[in-house]
Structure 1
Amino acid sequence: MLEPRPRPATQTPPDLRSWLADLAAHGRLAVARENLPLADNLAAVAKRTERDKAVLFPHPVGADGKAHDMPVVVNLFTQRAWVADALGVTEDQLLPHFLAAAAKPTPCVEVTSAPVQEVVHTQVDLLAQLPIPSHNELDSGPYITAGLLIARNPVTGVQNVSIHRCQISGPNRIGVLLLPRHTLAYYRMAEEAGAALEIAIVIGAHPALLLASQAICALDEDEMEIAGSLLGRPVEVVKCRTNAVRVPAAAEIVVEGRILPKVREPEGPFGEFPQYYGPRAAREVIEVDAVTHRRHPIYHTIVGGSFEHLVLGGVPREATLLQHLKRSFPNVLDVRLTRGGTCRYHLVVKIDKEREGEAKNIILCAFGGHYDVKQVVVVDKDVDISSADEIEWAVATRFQADRDMVVVSGALGSKLDPSTDEGGIGAKLGLDATAPLSDDPLAFRRIRVKGEESVDLSDALVKDPNAAFARIVAQVS
């Protein structure tokens, strides 16, 4: 695995295409052959490469058999180290950097002209104008999955940035799933006034903007300002052509529209982050008024349930949960939302243990940090929480079910977890996998081989093992 290359935030790539050039220069970008179908094939290649490569698809082919001039890119967030590198920090600095940015946002700077408005379409045909893929087998059709949905509070004008699954339902019509968060709050304000909610969907933004969109913050805190602090410079924004929403000037594509009041249409199923399908139901509807883009834009997509989907959502949640826990427990050292737990449901907390019983308090505090958290494992500071093997070892050797387990029944969880009831009600599980504070210094001391970390294998091992083996066999035969 390639290591991140730390650099000052002022030297981070300014936009998506600059970041792709950086990936290509360091062997992290693969290019697919031309004319691969947008339905299924693109996602299949993305899934096979998701652990180690971003992939660019030139001239992908739509359902009508025609190739798009607009290339598609996928797998920008295959590893946490890549996220850190895009922000100019090391992986160890990622969560502190995110928390610092959220604590001190950088206001955006408005400009009057922008690359993202070089081409303007007011006669909209989404599937003809944009290479929108279909991803998982039973998805109800093509979806915009990496679009930043930007909405303005209809009263204050403050903007919110988030990501929603967006089903293409017609040439200028999109079905959108709005979960009970800030976009839905803005929409209800507009709907109660009998008005549509003006929005924009931004496709092809710098990784910092996608990461900031997942920040867990208060209503009327603009995530684009958090993105500015992540980058170390203000995000330049421009007013949309058909509404008052401000969008990143350096983005690749913008879909301008309105979420219609009192309108619901079928949306789904769609492959979600738990690796199950979100069901079909009546959802809110966006009517598109315009599409703007650069002269030669790049379209970014995220395969539902892929590593990119999980890592993008996991890092900001980790930062928020770490901050939440450290307020009450300063000896919390680090947290990790595991990939096996969909980077949402299973949390591992590393602590410098001071007192018996505090791990259980930390478990209960973690459940209060976000309703998605379903299982918490607390481990000691000698455990590598990025390693599933290390976490399992801690549970295997330091946990006893009758002594160290916490179960909370009837708690609110994720509605996308199919094991909960229809309202998202389920159970929470906590495991104290910390070693008891024993008087015996050897009781829970890990074994180690002296010199393991410093041994030089290039000096200790021969260059041609086959020839060396042959010589040894000849000597003993």
Structure 2
Amino acid sequence: MTDNTGAPERSLGDYLRRISGRPEEYRTVSRQVNPVDFEVTALLEKLDRQNRYEAVHFRDALDVTGKPSQFELVSNLFSTRPRIAEMLHLSTEDVGPELGLQYGELVNGRVAPEVIGNDVAPVQENVLRGDEATMNILPTVRHSEMDLGPVLTMAHVMKGPEEDFYNVTFAKTFPDEAGRRGGITIHTPDLSRLLREWEARGRRFPVVNVLGHHPGFWLGSLAVTPYGTNEYETIGGFLGHPLRLTPSVTWGEEFLVPADAEIIIEGEIVPGERTVVNPFGEISRQYQAQEFAPVMEVTAITYRSGAILQDVFSGHREHMLLGSIPREGSLQRHLQATTGAVKAVHLPYSGAGRFVCYISMRKAYEGQPKEVAIAALARVPALQTVIVVDEDIDAFNEEDVMWATHVYADPDSDVDVLHNLKQPTDYRALGGSRILIDATRPTDRAFPTKLRVPPAAVDAVRLDEWLDPTDQGA
């Protein structure tokens, strides 16, 4: 992605300048806000209740200690499908299955990163070490009323202990009172595996918390890739140019960090040590229960001049879309490759973008929709309900999907419950059952046909030519 001059967009600031003239997409707040006292999320909640999803840039925020922070704050950046479509080099109208398919294409377009020197890396324009390197200087957000405290919500970077690859995965950091240590909630399979492999060696190991970057960086980090993939390369495919890296200030060339990030926390995880994290209002709009999590000790904080801290509005549309769109693309490509019949895959807001999946397909025989549903569940185990509809049903229109479910599905033969499939990382107080619904029109018996107005007749009508002007008298 390039800016107005044709130069590559490398930073969060580059992207914000591009959308700054669109009030429907981007708003600023100049009054001073206290992120710890819920003033950030209260404003975002107010917008959400009015079905408004602008990205919001807070120009004047207090830090964790209640003092004016030198850092600005932005949140809600990923809260609409049209905005994400543009981030993925599509038209803002490409918000249906083409969005997930484009995401899948970019996953395969890996670009090798470029290494630059510390002296020209924007993120190292300012370096804090020792007692100065405290997370308390940040305008960290407390999201929901029962949260344990303010939480950093962006991604962490870890490296294989023997292999030369970097994993970039979203995980939360809960800073302690002094801001020099923090608990990291590691739940994903890749980070959990890296944690086990490092801790088995019994020594401290590097971890980096990236607290702001270009949207392409984050979308690339969410790609579903095999363990061992160098995700710095995957991110380059989403940026459309090499991700610039630079040696870390703590470990030098042994650990490279994103040079165009806004803020980076460099730290080391203490093997075997755990601290309390959570409760935290999560993707399901429920609180995660308290648990013990690995401890990171801060070694350095680096940041560009004028840095902006980035946050995700947890448990709301931004949070849901960041997870659902990568899964839609990955799942659609997988199902299409294995069945050749899938038209669209959608993970709706009603299922928090995680737990419910709608699949539209061209059915070749009775029983095939159930096969597709099982394949989807095997690919994305977190799904709780999978509903399969015909290709003439819009998987992105929940009303259409529910119509097909209520009209076509026979509860006796088309609804199946699979038992004992609970995921160990699923914190909801549920059993381990999954629901599969075949909501396609039966073809093995006489069955009414869905009505429609002839498409040719509909296409021939131009509303602006047929309807009278609104200012014309009665």
TM-score clears 0.5: yes
User: Is 1:204–1:251's contact at 8 Å kept on the other side of the alignment?
Assistant: yes
Given the alignment of the two structures, is residue 31 of structure 1 paired with residue 28 of structure 2, yes or no?
yes
The residue aligned with 2:184 is 176
1:405–1:439 Cα change, 3 Å: closer
- CA distance in 1 between counterparts of 2:318 and 2:244 reads 26
Give how far 1:321 is off: 1.3
**Where do 5+ consecutive residues of structure 2 fail to align?**
none
- CA distance in 1 between counterparts of 2:155 and 2:41 reads 20
Amino acid at match of 2:319: H
1:43–1:33 Cα change, 3 Å: same
Deviations 1:100-153 (A, max 9, x none): 2323422211111310110001134534421111111111011001x2200111
Q: What is the correspondence of 1:236-315 to structure 2 with a 5 Å cutoff?
A: 236-243=244-251, 244-315=254-325
User: Is 2:55–2:77's contact at 8 Å kept on the other side of the alignment?
Assistant: yes
Give how far 1:180 is off: 4.7
Amino acid at match of 1:356: E
The residue aligned with 1:140 is 148
- CA distance in 1 between counterparts of 2:243 and 2:102 reads 17
Deviations 1:407-443 (A, max 9, x none): 101113364352325xxxx101011111123787x93
The residue aligned with 2:167 is 160
**The 10-residue stretch of structure 1 (69-78 or 205-214) with the greater mean CA deviation from structure 2:** 205-214
- CA distance in 2 between counterparts of 1:387 and 1:305 reads 22
Given the alignment of the two structures, is residue 16 of structure 1 paired with residue 24 of structure 2, yes or no?
no
Amino acid at match of 1:429: I
Give how far 1:365 is off: 0.9
**The 10-residue stretch of structure 1 (453-462 or 79-88) with the greater mean CA deviation from structure 2:** 453-462
1:43 to 27, 41, 48: 41
The residue aligned with 1:473 is none
Given the alignment of the two structures, is residue 221 of structure 1 paired with residue 229 of structure 2, yes or no?
yes
1:155–1:94 Cα change, 3 Å: same
- CA distance in 1 between counterparts of 2:414 and 2:2 reads 40
The residue aligned with 1:318 is 328
User: Is 2:219–2:238's contact at 8 Å kept on the other side of the alignment?
Assistant: no
The residue aligned with 1:110 is 115
Q: Give TM-score, length-normalised by structure 2.
A: 0.91
Q: What is the correspondence of 1:186-197 to structure 2 with a 5 Å cutoff?
A: 186-197=194-205
**Where do 5+ consecutive residues of structure 1 fail to align?**
470-477
Give how far 1:160 is off: 0.5
Deviations 1:359-402 (A, max 9, x none): 01111111101210111000111111111111111112211111
Amino acid at match of 1:47: E
Deviations 1:243-288 (A, max 9, x none): 2322221111100001110101111111110110111111111101
The residue aligned with 1:404 is 414
Question: Percent of pairs identical after alignment?
Answer: 25
Give how far 1:6 is off: 13
Amino acid at match of 2:74: V
User: Is 2:64–2:139's contact at 8 Å kept on the other side of the alignment?
Assistant: no
1:406–1:358 Cα change, 3 Å: same
User: Is 2:135–2:180's contact at 8 Å kept on the other side of the alignment?
Assistant: no
1:11–1:367 Cα change, 3 Å: farther
**The 10-residue stretch of structure 1 (305-314 or 21-30) with the greater mean CA deviation from structure 2:** 21-30
The residue aligned with 1:418 is 428
Given the alignment of the two structures, is residue 364 of structure 1 paired with residue 364 of structure 2, yes or no?
no
The residue aligned with 1:121 is 128
User: Is 1:214–1:317's contact at 8 Å kept on the other side of the alignment?
Assistant: no
Structure 1 segments of 4 or more deviating over 3 A? 5-8, 10-13, 62-65, 123-128, 413-417, 449-465
User: Is 1:70–1:298's contact at 8 Å kept on the other side of the alignment?
Assistant: yes
Amino acid at match of 1:227: I
Given the alignment of the two structures, is residue 99 of structure 1 paired with residue 97 of structure 2, yes or no?
no
- CA distance in 2 between counterparts of 1:339 and 1:129 reads 35
